[in-house]
Amino acid sequence: MLTYLSRRLLAILPLLFGITLISFFVIHLAPGRPAVVDQTLNPKISLEVKERLVKLYGLDKPLHIQYLNWLARLARFDFGRSFTDDRLVRDKIIERVPLTLAINILSLVFIFALAIPIGVRSSLRPSGVFDKGMTFLVFFGFAVPTFWLALLCMNLFGIQLGWLPISGIKSLDFEYFGFWQRCLDVCRHLVLPVAVSSIGGLAAITRYMRSSMGEALQQPYIYAARAKGLPRRQVVYKHALRNALLPIVTILGLSIPGLLGGSVIFETIFSLPGVGRLFYEAVMMRDYNLIMAEVVLVAVLTMLGNLIADIAYAYVDPRIRYEKT
């Protein structure tokens, strides 16, 4: 396990290098120098900001020096200041993290709580009525534009039926609520975003679970377990399910970029003050410091998610540790 762990940890160094290099490259896309300071490209930026940027990025220095300086600041979590309100980018991001984190964790819980039982049930009777119905729904889930589904749900549950609030995270009279009422209020605001943002992942993981379970049920040890007369329940849930769940651990890591990317869209639709909406606002305002910081952070987060998933997989399935990479 230790050799595996150290090998994996070593492998993230080139990844980190590449992530920062690509992010750096993106802001230097405009020929010659960053688009940030090119006023013909971007009239929104004033002269004073321009001066500050030239100094901040050390634009009079050669490119590789600029890159190294930028890395050094990154390592100290110094992302500079936001153009729009001059606050530290770090603070702006940190205050938005809890909400995005909460929604994504709730979505993941929701996805797994539904996808695993549905996948298992489908795999028990492939091509049965339940399986056919679910396959249809999964196909639908893959094809439906999330933001459109969000609009439909807002219209149906928010406007026509009036059951749920459709924007923001708290009601206008939030200040006057008691503690439990406040909790309820926040929960009500989270129902639609969590449900809508789960659709894509739900479809993917249901499908994955179904095939993983189907494969596990074909294994020789299942025949052995059946042959020695174990009850069907025990064979399915103890022998097959446990093995079928192993690869799902990896999927958990792989679903992180999708969820984070999706948060830009649904946080914007539902007006939720999370990291995704912050990124959208930054893009609209051409707030480059904020954009760069978020791009790097999100990529590093995704990388760490994958790393943790890999390590967890190797932990639960010893065969992985000895596989050559």
Partner 1 sequence: MKKNNALAIGITIIAFFGLVAIFAGMCAPYEPSAIDQNNLLMPPSLHHPLGTDSLGRDLLSRMIYGARISLAVGIIAVGIATLLGVFLGCVAGFYGGMIDAFIMRLVDIILCFPTLFLILAVVAILEPSIFNIMVIIGLTGWMGTARLVRSEILSLKEREFVQAARAIGASNARIILRHLLPHAMGPVLVSATLGIGSAILLESGLSFLGLGVQPPVPSWGNILIEAKSTLGIAWWITVFPGLAILVTILGFNLISEGLKKEIG
Which is nearer to partner 1, 77 or 140 (by Cβ)?
140
Q: Does residue 286 interact with partner 1 by CB under 8 A?
A: yes
Which is nearer to partner 1, 14 or 220 (by Cβ)?
14
Q: What is the spatial distance between Cα 316 and Cα 254, in angstroms, rounded to a whole number?
A: 17
Q: Which range touches partner 1 (CB under 8 A), out of 1-9, 155-163, 184-192, 230-238? A: 155-163
Q: Cβ of residue 223: shortest distance to partner 1, in angstroms?
A: 27
Which is nearer to partner 1, 34 or 119 (by Cβ)?
34
Q: Does residue 153 interact with partner 1 by CB under 8 A?
A: no
Q: Are 63 and 70 in contact (CB under 8 A)?
A: no
Q: What is the spatial distance between Cα 9 and Cα 246, in angstroms, rounded to a whole number?
A: 21
Q: Are 31 and 24 in contact (CB under 8 A)?
A: no
Q: Cβ of residue 235: shortest distance to partner 1, in angstroms?
A: 30
Residue-wise DSSP of 127-194:
TSHHHHHHHHHHHHHHHS-HHHHHHHHIIIIIIIS--S--SSSS-TTGGG--HHHHHHHHHHHHHHHH
Residue 321 identity (one-letter amino acid): R
Angle between helices 288-316 and 275-285 (to 10 degrees): 150
Q: Cβ of residue 286: shortest distance to partner 1, in angstroms?
A: 6
Residues 249 to 278: which contact partner 1 by CB under 8 A? Answer: 257-258, 260-262, 264-265, 268-269
Q: What is the spatial distance between Cα 77 and Cα 314, in angstroms, rounded to a whole number?
A: 31
Residues of this chain that interact with partner 1 (CB under 8 A) are 14-15, 18-19, 22, 26-27, 29-30, 35, 41, 139-140, 142-149, 151-152, 154-155, 159-160, 257-258, 260-262, 264-265, 268-269, 279-280, 282-284, 286, 288, 291-292, 294-295, 298-300, 302-303, 306
